Amino acid sequence: MLDSLLAFREQRMLQRLSEAMRGAYPVHAPGTSPITKLVAMVVVISELLGALFFGYPQTPRGQAINLDEWELVWSDEFDGESLDISKWKSCYGNIPRRGGFWDDDQSFVQDGNLIIRTEYKENGRMGSGWYTGAIETKGLFEQQYGYFEVSCICPGGVGLWAAFWMMSDGVFATPDGTANDGGEIDIFESFFYNQGRSHDAISSAVHFDGYGDAHQSVLVGHYKGRNIYTEYNTYGLEWNENELIFYVNGVETDRLTGKWVPHVAEYLLLSVEVAGQVKNINGAEVPVLDPNNNIEDNDMSIFPLDFKVDYVRVYQRKDAIA
């Protein structure tokens, strides 16, 4: 009954609250004193109640990824002088996208990082407006199962967000009620710059069966990072035949099973979005800013604002390779 009334995230909070009450949820390190254990349990229960009733982010408390069990099979460290076009290409080309434009010129390599730059251009190639970018590995690199990780600094401003995500053309196949033929896996999105306690949090989600009436999605949850707008954090996904396991800074946040797990190869994307939507105005596709999450509410001196990516790395389990 509860499964039909509560969203995945709410179900998970109730499960973790029950485990914490029974002492089964990981709230402390072994060998700590009873008082320390009690304080830790109170802190964790308070956090879970905040997540359940107020949408506050959770602290990652799951297993740590052990990369000794994995073999690096593909990576980009962004150490060259320009974007490696054998690994990445433009995502959709130069187009209006939400409240701004995706422009190839906004994605480049500098000082050992991929930079996706967001700025206002009075005389941009598609007219005046907010310009940012996106790149993908479609047709260049795709993989089924493995561990996928990015190390990055998110752009810190209202009305925009960065993302590391995965896709397959199967997302647009005839709906079958599962992600078997591919899904959109949002490993992380940085939505919460001006959201109080959620400021340094990220969001993870999965979508499948297109974006129309048959579309299905699940918000996996909101999870705390560490100064995500000024320091490098890592965001990862372990994907196997049975599960999607999400990580922040190498620690598990949550996992999905069943219909949410794709079983076809997917490609990688890195992007920045400006909040808003594209509207048809006098026969032209025009980006319109979201008035409730408006990039122009920022102090304009923060621009240009950069999404900095130190690396993207993809692994396969050593026993799977052997």
- pLDDT number for residue 2: 34
Whole-angstrom distance, CA of residue 1 vs CA of residue 141: 43
Share of the chain above pLDDT 70, in %: 91
Q: Predicted confidence band at 26 (pLDDT cuts at 50, 70, 90)?
A: low
pLDDT tens digits, one per residue of 206-258? 999 999 999 999 999 999 999 999 999 999 999 999 999 999 999 999 999 99
pLDDT above 90 (res 42) = no
Domains and CATH numbers, the chain: 1-56 (no CATH), 59-321 (2.60.120.200)
pLDDT tens digits, one per residue of 289-306? 999 999 999 999 999 999
Nearest Cα neighbor of 7 from 166, 285, 163, 218 is 218
pLDDT above 70 (res 172) = yes
Q: Average pLDDT over the chain, rounded to whole?
A: 91
- pLDDT number for residue 51: 73
Q: Predicted confidence band at 27 (pLDDT cuts at 50, 70, 90)?
A: low
Cα angle 166, 296, 123; round to 5: 85
